Chain A
């Protein structure tokens, strides 16, 4: 039985985007420093970057969990509803391979 990799790109695309946001926002130590420099008048920034970073981390982390749950749930449902199409032998055939080896 195959669970993932059906003709769905929206959920994995969302996961990639959210993971990238979480990776960047969880490393924004530099932008926090921007804020502290701003407090001393060193930088012309007037927005609380620490809060933006925290919000990005929280939203992306929750988003990842939600998308993962939806993806796993829909994949399990799809596999149960279409047991024959879950046959692993049907994943690639020669025509698909040649088609996808061609440059776009």
Chain B
């Protein structure tokens, strides 16, 4: 068993590093590869992604703590709960950001696929953020179920647990290579590979996290399924548009 302990002080440090590194990689990619939209449209998309991610991450985070939210509501402490620290989820952030971008693109009549430049930065940012989750240990609600495997980690309670954050970092490295392929892919494909890959991964890995279940799955897993269904519908719609364009 590998002793790690719980050091939540490092979580915000790695979270800030994650945003900074993700943005640096995004700028590097945009500078090297160019962009499919002009600078004002790109900033519009970035703003929609940031605000959508903020709302999505917080909403799903609060939904995960539903009993606490209801208790706070009954006691008239809902504002205190809303501004309380923590309670954010990556899945909610990704889906909220994606939804925000799709809404702003419709409002702005932006027809190009703008997500490809986000795929690798998101892989790197989430991987760095997960280091903070691992070091935060039991204070962060992302630890794994108990296990007797030799690489189990002790987060300070003497129980060996799956190092799910390390599993996720390894997966994100592989996904990062996949979305960075030099192969020519259709516009938007890299982002959809990233998002579908990450949602599928979270659906699987969350089976070894001790979260409350609803009908056999936790809330994050249900959200991942909904996100994958949306992605499939979006892909089918894109195929149909391409087919109709070819026929015309």
Contacts and interface: CB of A to CB of B under 8 A. Distances in A.
A binds B: yes
B47 A23 contact: no
Contact of A64 (B15, B44, B51): B51
B238 to A, nearest CB: 18
Classify the interface of chain B: helix, strand, loop or mixed.
helix
A97 B9 CA distance: 46
A57 B88 CA distance: 14
A23 B112 CA distance: 28
Interface in A58-72: 58, 64, 68
Interface string B62-78: 00000000000000000
Contact of A33 (B9, B41, B112): B9
A48 interface: no
A103 B83 contact: no
B43 A102 contact: no
Nearest to A67: B47
Interface size class of B (residues with CB under 8 A): 35 or more
Contacts of A101: 34-36
Interface in A1-54: 2-9, 11-13, 15-16, 19-20, 22-24, 26-34, 37, 53-54
Classify the interface of chain A: helix, strand, loop or mixed.
helix
B40 A8 contact: yes
B237 interface: no
A99 B34 CA distance: 9
B150 interface: no
Contact of A30 (B10, B33, B39, B88): B10
A26 B83 contact: yes
Contacts of B130: none
Given A57-B83, A103-B33, A26 B88 contact: yes
A23 B83 contact: no
Contacts of B31: 103-104
Interface of A: 2-9, 11-13, 15-16, 19-20, 22-24, 26-34, 37, 53-54, 57-58, 64, 68, 88, 91-92, 96-97, 99-104
18 contacts: A3-B108, A5-B104, A15-B51, A16-B43, A19-B51, A19-B54, A23-B53, A24-B12, A26-B88, A27-B12, A27-B15, A29-B12, A33-B8, A68-B51, A91-B108, A97-B36, A100-B34, A101-B34
Closest 8 CB pairs of A and B: A5-B108, A12-B47, A88-B109, A19-B50, A12-B43, A15-B47, A30-B9, A29-B85
Given A5-B110, A53-B85, A91-B108, 8 more contacts: A12-B43, A19-B51, A27-B85, A28-B12, A30-B8, A34-B9, A100-B35, A103-B32
